[in-house]
Structure 1
Amino acid sequence: MNQKSSKNNNGKGIPIKAIAWIFILFFIILIVGFMIIPAYFDKTPFGKLFLNTSAPWALTAEEKNKFNYSDKQLSGRNLYLEYCASCHGPIGKGDGPLSVTLRKRPPNFIDPSSRFINGFNKIKLLETIEKSIPNSEMPQFNYLPKETKENIIEYLLHMHENANLY
């Protein structure tokens, strides 16, 4: 009896479940391929990820010489881009992509005539970062480590004092 059942199984094809899994895998590879290949030739930020170019926020050697950042300021720049630029803009003009959704536009850090609610010195900036601004949409960043906040402040002061470079 075992011989008959083994002979009968030898002639069976691939089970339906295996065909389904192969089809699903093929479909996933096809979709991913259609997403990645066009992006490789794309000039948008997503497409640039696949090209051998530097990130849009990376500084060139010429820019590093121009701005002459200290280590704290350079770290602060990167942290500013991560935490602040979405509202305040990449160079602090108050024109970040989220600024259009806010009730009140964020201040322009590089314009000397800008008015700052809490003031613009180390102590007042630290207070603003930690406690936010009353009746505004700015979040509190009191959870950030002290060094992170200090580096952001160093960068903000550099931007404000060297507005002509921006």
Structure 2
Amino acid sequence: MSLRVIIMGVSGCGKSSVGEGLAKALAVPYRDGDDLHPDTNVEKMRAGIALTDEDRWPWLDRVAQALNAEAPIIIGCSALRRVYRDRIRAGAGGPVCFVHLAGSRDLIAARMAERAGHYMPLSLLDSQFATLEAPGPDEAVTVDIDQPLERIVAAVLPQIQGAKT
């Protein structure tokens, strides 16, 4: 099985929780894409500075390399723009199933305000939404996050299982 899944969406949408739930259900590893950011990116975000495309390219290449080298795997990665998703696909070494976690700004802001210990400040949420190019049905499975985690995982599972190659 060479399953390659990206759980995508703006910061605070639940990528880690959903990714871990799917990984457990499928018995494949989950990796947080935040851990693949260069230290300079983390420091910029911690300081409240939005990343540029130039900042993101090395990170996206690391995500693609992890998909290529570690499949089957699920990775949480914002993948906000189509060009970012295209770059990941180009280096992934096989098909990639994208799962877009979609939710309102208010819901995600409330979630971000409750989480502790994450370097991404709430002040960058608007820049995330401004950058987001929501994928169409030809590009990703989209799921509304305004529901319990178990229902999100249950809704996505059959679609990911259909993507196994």
Q: TM-score range by the shorter chain?
A: under 0.3
Larger radius of gyration: 1
Which structure is richer in relative contact order (CA contacts within 8 A, separation 6 or more)? 2
TM-score, with structure 1 as normaliser: 0.24
The structure where strand makes up a greater share of residues is 2
TM-score, with structure 2 as normaliser: 0.25
The structure where helix makes up a greater share of residues is 1
